[in-house]
Amino acid sequence: MHYQRPVRVFVSRRLPVDPAAVLPDHEVDVWDGDRPPTAAELRERCQGADALLSVLADRIDADFLDACPMLKVVASFAVGFDNMDLEAARERDVWLTHTPGVLTDSTADLAMTLLLAVARRLPEAEDEARTGHFGPFAPTAFLGLQLAGATLGIVGMGSIGRAVARRARAFGMDVLYTSRSPIPVEDREGGEPVELEELMARSDVVSLHCPLTPETRGLLSADMLARAKKGAILVNTARGPIVDEAALVALLEQGHFAGAGLDVFEEEPRVHPGLLERRDVVLTPHIGSATHTARRAMAHMALRNIAAVLRGETPPNPVPGSRSPS
C-alpha cells in the first residue's frame, strides 16, 4: 500500500503506551478528553483516518463505517467483539482486529478475586473492621464458603474459562463446564463437561466466560438462574446481558443466591439499583483486563494489527469471521 499523504490513525482513548512511539511513521491522533467521545465525536475524529484503535464502548456498525470511508482497519482494544458488526465490515473490506490471549490471566485473576471476595463476605467483613465495629471473636460470625471441596461451574470453556478452571483446581475445587464445542480431555483442566441445567443444579459457584452472542444473550434467564443450588454464588466477568439482572436481584433478595461478584452489567455503566445496596454483592467497573501487563500487551497488539494492515498485510489478530485474508 503506497500513501501520497501521511497515514492517519485515531486512538479513541488514552493508552498505557504511547501510540506515536509505536507507530512513528504515522500521524497519530489520540482522544484526550476526560470523558469518552460521543458517537458523533468519534465519527468526526475518524474523518480522513486510515485506522481506528477503538474500545468496547465504541459502536462499530454500518452507519459508522459509511461515515468514515477511509478506514481500512478498526483495531479493538478488547478480546470481545460484540460491539462490532462483522458483516458490515466484511461488506466494506474493513479489517476488524481484537486482542485475544494477552488478557486471559488477568481476567481469570479477577474472576477468582470476585469469587473469593463473595465467598468470604469481604464487603461486610471489611466494613466491620474499617468502621470501628470490630467485635469480639464469634464462632458464628461471617461464615462463608470454603473453596476446597466446593464445585465451580464454568459457562464457556474458552481460554479464560480454562484459566479460571486451573486456578479453581489449585484451590481444591471440582470443576464442571459447558462448551459449545467438544474439548479434548487434555485441555479440560480436570473439568467435567455437562449441560447448562446440570451445571446450575450442581455448582456452588457459577462463573461466566462465554462471549455475548445472539445465543448467549439472556442465557441465564430467570428460569435458568432459579435452577441454581440454594446458596450458590454467581460470578460474571464476561458480559452483562448474558444474565437477566432483574431476576438475579430478585433471587438475591429471596436468599436463593448467597451472593454475586459482578464486573459487567446489562446496561453499562448503569448498575441495577437493587445491586447497589446489597452487601452480599461485590461490584467492579468492567476491569477484568486492568493490569499493567495485560493493558500494555493489549495496546501493543492493537497497534501491531494497525501497522500490519497499513503495510498492506493481513493483521495477526483478525476478529474471527470479520474478513477472510485476500
Residues that bind ligand GLV (CB under 6 A): 56, 78-80, 103, 288-289
Comparing CB distances to ligand GLV, the nearer of 288 and 315 is: 288
- DSSP letters, 24-66, are TTSEEEE---SSPPPHHHHHHHHTT-SEEEE-TTS-B-HHHHH
Comparing CB distances to ligand GLV, the nearer of 103 and 200 is: 103
The one catalytic residue in 209, 239, 295, 323 is: 239
Comparing CB distances to ligand GLV, the nearer of 165 and 302 is: 302
Do 211 and 82 form a contact (C-beta atoms < 8 A)? yes
Is 5 a catalytic site residue?
Answer: no
Comparing CB distances to ligand GLV, the nearer of 28 and 110 is: 110
Where helices occur in the chain by DSSP H, the ranges are 19-22, 39-46, 62-67, 86-91, 104-119, 122-130, 159-170, 196-202, 222-226, 245-253, 273-276, 292-310
Directed axis angle between helix 122-130 and helix 104-119, to 10°? 70
Distance CA 100, CA 86 (A): 17
Is 268 a catalytic site residue?
Answer: yes
Is 239 a catalytic site residue?
Answer: yes
For the bound state, the minimum distance from the C-beta of residue 264 to ligand GLV, rounded and expressed in Å, comes to 7
For the bound state, the minimum distance from the C-beta of residue 79 to ligand GLV, rounded and expressed in Å, comes to 4
Q: Which residue has the cell 503495510?
A: 311
| Residue 279: CB atoms within 10 Å | 12
Q: How far is CA 46 from CA 17, 54, 231, 275, in A?
A: 21, 11, 49, 37
| Residue 217: CB atoms within 10 Å | 12
Element (H, E) at 271: none
The one catalytic residue in 268, 278, 296, 300 is: 268
Enter the C-alpha cell of residue 79. 478480546
Nearest to 279 by CA among 259, 297, 294: 259
The one catalytic residue in 162, 209, 286, 323 is: 286
Comparing CB distances to ligand GLV, the nearer of 160 and 228 is: 160
Comparing CB distances to ligand GLV, the nearer of 151 and 216 is: 216
Catalytic residue ranges: 239, 268, 286
